[in-house]
Structure 1
Amino acid sequence: MPYEPPTHRVERSIRALTGARVVAGIDEVGRGAWAGPVTVCAAVTGLRRPPEGLTDSKLLTPLRRTALAEVLTGWVTSYALGHASPEEIDTLGMTAALRLAASRALEGLPDRPDAVILDGKHDYLGPPWQVRTVIKGDQSCVAVAAASVIAKVRRDAMLAELAPEHPPFGFETNAGYPSPVHKTALEEHGPTPHHRRSWAFLDALPRWRHLKLPSHRDALAAEDLEEAGQLGMF
């Protein structure tokens, strides 16, 4: 299906209105997963022409996404990744965990950004960062699209590395997200140390329900659980 390539329109607007020199695009991956960290990439791209085919990582095939990520890591001006662990997600709730992961990514950049373009409608970052939220920013903004691809490829690789430790769960293919294989493995084996034990999927597993931790029903987590429910996983 054809799509419009991302542009620097939002970044140019921010630069013109605020005088910002360094503008970072950030995107997350893993928010709706049952296992693994939530990962945020912060990417600074300047105003150069992006690589051919750049778009939201979800619109790319795995092979194309991996190849593009290799190009992007050398093309961007700078990038950094931040993660929040399953334990941090359980303890803090998803909104605070995203803020933590994003802050780690932004603080990992060599130059502190003057402004941030954040994918979506929720500003989970807040002060002291100057944030512009953009719905579908991973499709329309070059820096956010680049962050989207790098974050997805890196997190998928992290989950694939965990797969040999937990073969029944299919982490190498589902990256910790809901899937029939993942659900069957949970029913038979219970959660691994990499699962988010405050999440509602444990409510549907009578053998393992006693392992569930108190949940944090913040706005973002509620959206994630609703989306997973629509997939028929609960």
Structure 2
Amino acid sequence: MKTPTFDYEQQYWSQGIQYIAGIDEAGMGALAGPVVAAAVIFSKDSFEEFVAAVEKTPVRDSKLLSPKQREKAVELIKQHAQAWAIGSASVDEIDSINIRAASHLAMQRAIAALSTVPDILMIDGTPAQISKIIPTINIIKGDQLSYSIAAASILAKVTRDTTMIELDIQFPQYGFASHKGYGAKIHMDALVTHGATEHHRKSYAPIARLTQ
């Protein structure tokens, strides 16, 4: 199992680039709920304390951690990060501008909410120009390679999962707490039986077919 490092961050720190924000999102492939992004900045002066701490509490690609591990990781990240922030885009925004643009909007909101202005952005995934001002580096499987991006992936997922669990209280028949809005069989069966809610993405084909 691949463990992230601070190799990318150290490369930029050695060049005098101080504030490096790791960016990632959660929820692009879901049929319901918002898309959520997070931005995390670690300090070059204290990152080694974080590295020591993750020996007991793993921080890696959020999909590789259990819910309990993610919750513990969130506490660790918030304790050691120099700055962190969350941004999201609503279902209405997803349906209006498409999911890719909405995910970029969520990232932009997370970046804008940071208490420290980044000098550079490291974003998980394929090329995307999120900022016209701040240089952007795209790293394929970045959440498996960079601690900053891995931390952002965890914050984004835990935040979004919490939102979907809250929606489950309002709409228990859909099972949002278990599948978090993705296309699990229990979700698809509930859509056939009960129809879509205002929290479902009408622009997504499985939902669009139900609402035609």
Residue 5 of structure 1 aligns with which residue? Answer: 3
**What are the superposed Cα offsets for residues 61-120 of structure 1, whole Å, 9 maximum, x if unpaired?**
111111211222112111000000010011011221112111110010011101000001
Matched with 1:121 is 126
Match of 2:77 among 57, 72, 75: 72
Partner of 2:23, secondary structure, is strand
Q: Which residue does the alignment assign to 2:23?
A: 26
Work out which of the residue numbers 136, 141, 145 in structure 2 matches 1:136: 141
Give 3-state SS (helix, strand or coil) of 1:7's partner: coil
2:168 alignment partner, SS class: helix
Alignment size in residue pairs: 204
Matched AA of 1:7: T
Aligned pairs for 1:67-216 (under 5 A) are 67-205=72-210, 208-209=211-212
C-alpha contact (below 8 Å) 1:95/1:124 kept by paired residues: no
- In structure 2, the residue corresponding to 1:116 is in which secondary structure? strand
How far apart are the structure 2 equivalents of 1:87 and 1:178?
Answer: 19
The CA distance in 2 between the partners of 1:99 and 1:74, in whole Å, is: 27
Poorly superposed stretches of 4+, deviation over 4 Å: none
Q: 1:204 Cα deviation (Å)?
A: 4.3
SS in 1 for 2:22: strand
* CA distance in structure 1 between the aligned counterparts of 2:167 and 2:66, rounded to whole angstroms: 22
Give the TM-score, by structure 1 length: 0.83
Amino acid at match of 1:159: M
Q: TM-score, normalised by structure 2?
A: 0.91
Note the C-alpha offset of 1:43. Answer: 0.3
Residues of 1 paired with 2:207 and 2:161: CA distance? Answer: 23
Distance, in Å, in 2 between the alignment partners of 1:89 and 1:120 is 19
Partner Cα separation in structure 1 for residue 129 and residue 178 of structure 2? 29
Number of the residue aligned with 1:230 = none
Q: CA RMSD in A?
A: 1.4
